[in-house]
Structure 1
Amino acid sequence: MEKGKVAERREVPEAHAWRAAPDDAPLPVPARDPPARRGRVVMLLTAAGRLRSASETPQTWRAAFAQERAHGHFFLFVPVFLGAGAALWFSAVTDPSLPALLLFAAFAFWPAWRFRHREDWTALAAGAILFVPVGMLLAALESARLDTVVLDAPVTTDVSGRVLARESDERGAIRYRIALDTTRDPVLKRPPGVVTLLARSRHAPIPIGGGITGRARLGPPSGPALSGLNDFAFDAYFAGTGAVGYFYQAPRAVAVAEPGVEGRIRQTVATWRNNLTEHIRGRIGGDAGAIAAALVTAEQRAISPETVEALREAGLAHVLAISGLNMVLAAGTFLVGARVLMALIPGFSERYPAKKIAAAGALAMVTLYILVSGGAISAVRSWIMICIMLVAVLFGRAAISLRNVALSAIVILAMTPSAVTNPGFQMSYAATLGLVAGYAAWRERPVRREGEGGRLKLFGGALGRFFGGLLLSSLIGGFATLIYSIGRFHRIPAYGLAGNLLAMPVISAIVMPFGLIAVLLMPFGLDGVPFAIMGKGIEWMIALSTWVASWKGEIVTGRIPSIAFLLIGLGGGLVCILRTRLRHAGTLLVGIGLAIACFPAGGATPEALVSEDGRLVAILRGETVATNRARPPDFIYAQWRRALRLGELVKPEIRRSAGLTLEEAVSTTGAAESRNKPRRKADRQKARDAMASALAAARAGNGFVCEAKAFCAAVSPSGWRIVTLDDVAFLGTACDAADLVVVSLALRLEACRSGARLVTARHLRRTGALEIHPAAEGLSNIFSAAQVTPAVESLDRPWARHRSYDWRTGSFDQPADQ
């Protein structure tokens, strides 16, 4: 065999039959059948093979199950079943019965224990019957343990509390996370425990742990922008945030009592994180400094929106999250650097286990990293996995395996089952599972002949493996997370692979290593040069991402059915977990999911959309969308645009008619003097004429026709007359002229006397955003027959229960229509 080459030979007995024959014997010559006879033989052999395969199918499947069990793959399904149970609990309309779940799990324990050593499907079925209700119980326990108080309705009040954390954006505005102590003017009957408030006014930053007070506008976290989209109230509930808002003026510092031991520990960590962020941004200015701080402490608010969008369109948004990439690069750099330093000490590596010492140091380093990074789900997952890998190195075990991925998932799901609904958790584990399974398949591939490479030996060796590994990692990671980008964000970067191939060498070789070196040298004041090199690498990354984003390759996919998302995700997981022919069940699930996603049933585009606050209403007509706001809020409209693949925006026509309203003084005998305010009243005839003219103009055109600071009118493709009000003085006129009236104020009125559908802030508080579809053919022009889909399906869940709270009575009133 030639030097440097590996030959793979398959021994076939017939091919070497001449070795056993006498020297003078002629070589065997295979007999040749006539073509007709040969065809009949082939047909008979094929039929016999099919019959044999059919008769051996049960044995084949049993053998496949036994092989999967022998490789320990049944254990990999434990986090799958736990996550499925948690997802079922969170998706339920009402809270499932805890006694029933406990009883079911208790009865399921014995079969699972009894069949735990079986090598067929009964072991998996028994495990599923046990771990699915256990996952539901873990989700219920987490919800009960948090018991976050979410504000029921927007309110303006004086707040006082303690600063838990703070972060500033590129304009200098500071967002405070505050543990609320008291409220005043008015005093809230049901105050949230933790609020997040933005202070735009210039002021001296209030230190973490210090007291803060000021006049603020509080509001509950927003719900889904449309049915099936991300529920920010759900995220806020499990993050412990009960309200969001802003200060009217600069907040003031006040004295506050000292916290307990746990509070002091959290305060110290938050102070470290804030000081580290400000130090990095001071060393590296601009967006490069903001990104450098985000790579270390995960604070991203200081990055300009233009740079964030460029990174997202170039497929590099994952770099900003503290995830497996950051953790692996940091731990790997420390591990290699420590071993190199110890190897430079004469005799050290011979006397002491340098590899284990470096692994212990890397373990301590990544633990400090997770403390200052904010503890995001992707970061915790990466930290647990790396800790398991480093501990495996300490004990001489295999570091990278699917079992380690499963162990980290079990730990996270046991502590925070709500993570299963988090896009970061889903995409992080999908990428990790794909990479581990992909590289395992690559290692087990058949060995081929390889040439020495000649003059290209270096490129075909180390450099080739580096860029080949980078290409393969980008392909596997991008493909594994593709369905989650479509299902959760409704868009994918078409040139994400190119962006990763161009920028990842800079991140891997310059940004993260020099960032780690700078942080390690920071206590000695020697971090200036490493941070400068890191900043230059980030500037190159920004330039490359901006260049790739200029290709305009973003693909807006739109919303896909939930069942398609689940089937594709589950099928992809099975393909990665299993290694026998059983994995083709995952391929089948992926195929079914793709068919449902490409050809959804009942996926008609709605005709009208109403935002949760009632301020934004849209009419969809073919390739265009008309809104009642010339500049719709990007937070809501961007989600609508991506989920429904909206086309060109038609801005409203603004009119300024005079004399539509009259002002009259209202006498309030015995009431406070502050309530003696003039009330606006519509001039009925002028208002009726103006609204009729606006509806006629809207019917002739494609958009809204608005009277400034009064109302907007539009006509949908089905002929529905829709009016949105900025002034309730026109409510009676709108009810008489329209089929749907939308008011962004919390009126006590439940319905129009004329029979028109009235939607106020009180209604939207219970339903969330509305999606209105026309009825069947023949009834599409009748609005009362239209199908209205609310974004909030149920109020009987902990993160939505605040929507039914009545502060006047102090009770939760379940509406009759829910």
Structure 2
Amino acid sequence: MAKVKEAEGREALREADAWRTLSDVSSPPAVLEDGARPKAPLATLGRIEGRLRHVLLPWRDVHAAFAEERAHGHFFLFVPVFLGAGAALWFAAISDPSVLALLFIAFITFWPAWRLRHREDWRALTAGAAFLVPIGMLLAAFESARLDTVLLDAPVTTEITGRVLSRESDGRGAIRYRIALTATRDPTLKRAPDVVTVLAHNRHEPIVIGDGIAGRARLNPPSGPALTGLNDFAFDAYFAGTGAVGYFYKAPERVAAAPAGLEERIRQEIATWRNNLTEYIRSRIDGDAGAIAAALVTAEQRAISPETVEALRQAGLAHVLAISGLNMVLAAGTFLVGARMLMALIPGFAERYPAKKIAAVGALVMVTLYILVSGGALSAVRSWIMICVMLVAVLFGRSAISLRNVALSAILILVVTPSAITNPGFQMSYAATLGLVAGYAAWRERPVKREGRGGVLPAVGGSTGRFLGGLVLSSLIGGFSTLIYSIGHFNRIPAYGLAGNLLTMPAISAIVMPFGLVAVLLMPFGLDAIPFAIMGKGIEWMIALSNWVASWKGEIVTGRIPPAAFLLIGFGGGLVCILRTHLRHAGTLLVLIGVAIAFWPGDPVRPEVLISEDGRLVAILRDDGVATNRARPPDFVYAQWRRALRLGDVVKPTMRKTAGLTVEEEAAAVETAKKRKSSRHRANREKAKAAMASAFDAAASHAGFVCETKAFCVAVSPNEWRIVTLDDVAFLGTACDAADLVVTQAPLRTAACRSGARLITARHLRRTGALEIIPGEEENAPFILEASTIPAIETLDRPWSRHRTYDWRTGTYTSGNAEGERHRRDTQGEINETDAAISSDF
């Protein structure tokens, strides 16, 4: 069978070469039949025609191109592509696709895919796609059902008790605990998450991993996208198994914990190794250098200062902090070369024993320990799988680096964790690896000229020149391969990333990683002081250079691009790297179409009003800047808005304080309000109305918000919409009478203003996520009639968004229809007593 396949491959190559020969001989002759030379125009046309035929003739026989791709084994490279496409389709669906339907499709497409697996045309790929895409969807469905993570449905303050699974500390002494919850009380949660991440700000003795922990904490559900199309942190939390995030009000206490199972004890032991190693490295190297050194070994980055992290990003060096191919290859390569050198120094050892294979086994053990203590990020797992395949190939004398190894690692990851296909780290890691492997394969196959002595600078043409050239080429290929993912996921690119990598990579490759590996290996013997000191100096040099490059202010904010452009460019670039015949130009065409869509001339539709998911931040977009209702908008949300929409300078609100806007309730009313957890005072209607009218008058001639301290903020948008944001719901009635749009962070059950104004509460935002409000085509049209709203949450019928419909009062999930019916009842006046007490003048 193998000989038959080999013969078929040789025949396919001969057929492809025949087509190339045909394209060469089909060019018009340079001499006419009577021996005369053609005139210049005719000769030019002949050359053009010959070149066109040379390009187009291979496309006339697609079968030959497919046969050549099959001969090189490139059909196997499409297996992870089809599996990933299926998983991506499942995650992008509005509701869960039917598992039975997917099983049926996979069953009926298996036989054609199996029968056509040896064909050398497009039908083999089509049959394979028809079978593997539903398999990828089934894998995604299985992973989602297997995890079944419970996400917290609403913010809550409660007493928690659990077991510490892991912990990380930052440079200011705060410790973030990952806790397996065992109990909650005051109140007891009906639908408590299994695992939470809680930050302890107060200084205390760190609680040992595996011990019990207890304390009063504020828990919040994982946040959704800051805007539609941006990263959904609730999705990430679901597949990471994290049900809630929050913070302790005071230092947590150590309590007794129930015995853990075998698997949990193993995980706790690994987490303990990781934590101890992190703290030890930071004790050996001070400051950000020590925090980065620990991050390079254990991937714990919380101790790095935000300024240094931002400088590394702007210098294009953020990838250094991630445990990825660079770290793994440098560690494995340093161990492999160092072990072989040590064995070569032993007289007669290299002649008697296979030193290269022994070193490969040692490197295999070393990178496996590295992945255990590094936290197991997707980029690290990808690198570990590839390096393991490469080292095993060395043991059997096979080619270590190939596209098949890249595909094999992708298949293994997608089978176990199909959700990885949506992860930016996974996408960028494989894009860079694919580009580098394909790029260097093309470089090896280039026509080679005889190398000279280098002229007046022999070193430039020798080993130094090859090193610098390889460094430049690697940086160019890696940066260009991941460019679309930086734009699509982070909406920015470092303009001087190439310079940052060229300046710092020699230090990282020759100083930081090799001495870091030596230091870790010498730690059991207490001989790590000098290697760690050298590693720290190398990192300090890297930080200084990144700060210098970042001072050039070269970050390019790209804004959001259409999803179609992102998919076309990403898929087209993959085809260019995977294929080697003229078929790869189909990928080039897809890339060009994607670029045209992304940069098609014309102004994109911009929202006029942005509302954050919690209702605390509201922004009004203008041509010359953006006005916010917060003097210091939260960076986590606003930074995403700024990059996605390319926002201008922030116009801070004008703060005022008018006395007597509220009136204290009588004692009986205060007690009632305490029991109902509602407002304990009411608005002074006349003063509140006058203050709000005065604020609107000031806002009409002011580009930003005008705010009454701890009461409300008002603004007038470019389309003359009157907008009020409430810090105190006692002013709800006054705001509804005066505004077109009212936003409050309180979870009111009231659905709408009776005056006709649009009311958006935390209860509404819980189901929609962040909102973008876009004006209609008619200028200065009424807000209610013309404005369109784009929610960040596109569907509530997926496992990672279904918690938004949970009603803790009834313990059930409310459908969209039931919620809409309740809203209509509230609008018609059936408002409960609590809301009536909150806004009695409503």
Q: TM-score, normalising length from structure 2?
A: 0.91
Matched, 1:532 2:517: no
Going from structure 1 to structure 2, the CA distance change for 1:799 and 1:112 (only over 3 Å counts) comes to same
Match of 2:274 in 1: 273
- For the residues of structure 2 that align with 1:808 and 1:209, how far apart are their CA atoms? 34
Deviation at 1:699, TM superposition (A): 1.4
Give the number of aligned pairs.
790
Q: Secondary structure at the match of 2:457?
A: helix
Match of 1:121 in 2: 122
**What is the CA deviation profile of residues 687-733 of structure 1, one whole-angstrom value per residue up to 9, with x for unaligned ones?**
11111111121111111011111100011111111100001111011
Q: Secondary structure at the match of 1:667?
A: helix
- Equivalent residues in 2 for 1:502-517, closer than 5 Å: 502-517=503-518
- For the residues of structure 1 that align with 2:33 and 2:750, how far apart are their CA atoms? 95
- For the residues of structure 1 that align with 2:209 and 2:794, how far apart are their CA atoms? 39
Q: Which residue identity does 2:506 align to in structure 1?
A: P
- Cα pair 1:561 1:600 within 8 Å, conserved: no
Q: Secondary structure at the match of 2:146?
A: helix
- Cα pair 2:685 2:734 within 8 Å, conserved: yes
Q: Secondary structure at the match of 1:762?
A: helix
Deviation at 1:48, TM superposition (A): 9.4
- For the residues of structure 1 that align with 2:133 and 2:679, how far apart are their CA atoms? 61
Going from structure 1 to structure 2, the CA distance change for 1:46 and 1:360 (only over 3 Å counts) comes to closer
- Cα pair 1:73 1:577 within 8 Å, conserved: yes
**What is the CA deviation profile of residues 741-791 of structure 1, one whole-angstrom value per residue up to 9, with x for unaligned ones?**
001010011111111111000000000000010112357443332110000
Match of 2:146 in 1: 145
Match of 1:457 in 2: 458
Deviation at 1:667, TM superposition (A): 2.7
Going from structure 1 to structure 2, the CA distance change for 1:260 and 1:740 (only over 3 Å counts) comes to same
Q: Secondary structure at the match of 1:722?
A: strand
**What is the CA deviation profile of residues 507-533 of structure 1, one whole-angstrom value per residue up to 9, with x for unaligned ones?**
000000000000000011111110010
- For the residues of structure 2 that align with 1:399 and 1:127, how far apart are their CA atoms? 27
- Cα pair 2:670 2:680 within 8 Å, conserved: no
- For the residues of structure 1 that align with 2:391 and 2:79, how far apart are their CA atoms? 23
Q: Secondary structure at the match of 1:215?
A: strand
- Equivalent residues in 2 for 1:369-768, closer than 5 Å: 369-453=370-454, 456-599=457-600, 603-665=604-666, 667=668, 679-768=680-769
Point out where structure 2 has 5 or more consecutive residues left out of the alignment. Answer: 1-20, 22-30, 821-842
- Cα pair 2:314 2:555 within 8 Å, conserved: yes
Match of 2:15 in 1: none
Going from structure 1 to structure 2, the CA distance change for 1:103 and 1:347 (only over 3 Å counts) comes to same
- For the residues of structure 2 that align with 1:281 and 1:321, how far apart are their CA atoms? 17
Going from structure 1 to structure 2, the CA distance change for 1:53 and 1:544 (only over 3 Å counts) comes to closer
- Cα pair 1:510 1:537 within 8 Å, conserved: yes
- Cα pair 2:285 2:536 within 8 Å, conserved: yes
- Cα pair 1:723 1:741 within 8 Å, conserved: yes
Greater Cα offset, 187-196 or 463-472: 463-472
Q: Secondary structure at the match of 1:657?
A: coil
- Cα pair 1:474 1:501 within 8 Å, conserved: yes
- For the residues of structure 2 that align with 1:675 and 1:805, how far apart are their CA atoms? 21
Deviation at 1:351, TM superposition (A): 0.8
Match of 1:186 in 2: 187
- Cα pair 2:224 2:613 within 8 Å, conserved: yes
Point out where structure 1 has 5 or more consecutive residues left out of the alignment. Answer: 1-12, 14-28
- For the residues of structure 1 that align with 2:600 and 2:671, how far apart are their CA atoms? 66
- For the residues of structure 2 that align with 1:295 and 1:708, how far apart are their CA atoms? 46
Deviation at 1:679, TM superposition (A): 2.0
- Cα pair 2:315 2:546 within 8 Å, conserved: yes
**What is the CA deviation profile of residues 119-172 of structure 1, one whole-angstrom value per residue up to 9, with x for unaligned ones?**
010011111111111111000000000000000000000000000000001101
- For the residues of structure 2 that align with 1:156 and 1:109, how far apart are their CA atoms? 52
- For the residues of structure 2 that align with 1:45 and 1:515, how far apart are their CA atoms? 59
- For the residues of structure 2 that align with 1:439 and 1:448, how far apart are their CA atoms? 17
Q: Secondary structure at the match of 1:166?
A: strand
Q: Which residue identity does 1:480 align to in structure 2?
A: S
Going from structure 1 to structure 2, the CA distance change for 1:51 and 1:622 (only over 3 Å counts) comes to closer
Match of 2:27 in 1: none
- Equivalent residues in 2 for 1:284-363, closer than 5 Å: 284-363=285-364
C-alpha RMSD of matched pairs (Å)? 2.1
Deviation at 1:459, TM superposition (A): 3.4
Match of 1:255 in 2: 256
Deviation at 1:62, TM superposition (A): 1.2
- For the residues of structure 2 that align with 1:761 and 1:284, how far apart are their CA atoms? 46
- Cα pair 2:719 2:779 within 8 Å, conserved: no
- Cα pair 2:618 2:628 within 8 Å, conserved: yes
Greater Cα offset, 801-810 or 661-670: 661-670
Match of 1:245 in 2: 246
Match of 1:80 in 2: 81
Deviation at 1:178, TM superposition (A): 0.2
Q: Secondary structure at the match of 1:177?
A: strand
Q: Calculate percent identity across the aligned residue pairs.
A: 74
- For the residues of structure 2 that align with 1:640 and 1:673, how far apart are their CA atoms? 37
Q: Secondary structure at the match of 2:229?
A: coil
Going from structure 1 to structure 2, the CA distance change for 1:87 and 1:276 (only over 3 Å counts) comes to same
Q: Secondary structure at the match of 2:500?
A: helix
**What is the CA deviation profile of residues 4-61 of structure 1, one whole-angstrom value per residue up to 9, with x for unaligned ones?**
xxxxxxxxx9xxxxxxxxxxxxxxx99985566786688689779979997x666521
Match of 1:90 in 2: 91
Q: Which residue identity does 2:777 align to in structure 1?
A: A
**What is the CA deviation profile of residues 57-80 of structure 1, one whole-angstrom value per residue up to 9, with x for unaligned ones?**
665211111101110111101101
- For the residues of structure 1 that align with 2:678 and 2:139, how far apart are their CA atoms? 54
Q: Secondary structure at the match of 2:665?
A: strand
- Cα pair 2:58 2:582 within 8 Å, conserved: no
Deviation at 1:650, TM superposition (A): 0.2
Q: Which residue identity does 1:783 align to in structure 2?
A: I
Going from structure 1 to structure 2, the CA distance change for 1:680 and 1:460 (only over 3 Å counts) comes to same
Matched, 1:775 2:767: no
Q: Which residue identity does 1:331 align to in structure 2?
A: A
Match of 1:197 in 2: 198
Q: Which residue identity does 1:131 align to in structure 2?
A: L
- For the residues of structure 2 that align with 1:673 and 1:282, how far apart are their CA atoms? 50
Going from structure 1 to structure 2, the CA distance change for 1:31 and 1:793 (only over 3 Å counts) comes to closer
Going from structure 1 to structure 2, the CA distance change for 1:536 and 1:741 (only over 3 Å counts) comes to same
- For the residues of structure 2 that align with 1:97 and 1:813, how far apart are their CA atoms? 22
- Cα pair 2:452 2:461 within 8 Å, conserved: no
Match of 2:828 in 1: none
- For the residues of structure 2 that align with 1:37 and 1:671, how far apart are their CA atoms? 102
Q: Which residue identity does 1:186 align to in structure 2?
A: P
Match of 1:132 in 2: 133
- For the residues of structure 2 that align with 1:598 and 1:131, how far apart are their CA atoms? 33
Going from structure 1 to structure 2, the CA distance change for 1:176 and 1:36 (only over 3 Å counts) comes to closer
- Cα pair 1:774 1:781 within 8 Å, conserved: no
Q: Secondary structure at the match of 2:84?
A: helix
- For the residues of structure 2 that align with 1:158 and 1:398, how far apart are their CA atoms? 57
Deviation at 1:461, TM superposition (A): 1.3
Deviation at 1:814, TM superposition (A): 1.5
- For the residues of structure 1 that align with 2:50 and 2:453, how far apart are their CA atoms? 47
Deviation at 1:677, TM superposition (A): 8.8
**What is the CA deviation profile of residues 356-402 of structure 1, one whole-angstrom value per residue up to 9, with x for unaligned ones?**
10000000000000000000000000000000000010111000000
Q: Secondary structure at the match of 2:462?
A: helix
- Cα pair 1:695 1:713 within 8 Å, conserved: yes
- For the residues of structure 2 that align with 1:136 and 1:784, how far apart are their CA atoms? 41
- Cα pair 1:617 1:628 within 8 Å, conserved: yes
Going from structure 1 to structure 2, the CA distance change for 1:733 and 1:283 (only over 3 Å counts) comes to same
- Cα pair 1:76 1:403 within 8 Å, conserved: yes
- Cα pair 2:670 2:681 within 8 Å, conserved: no
Deviation at 1:449, TM superposition (A): 2.4
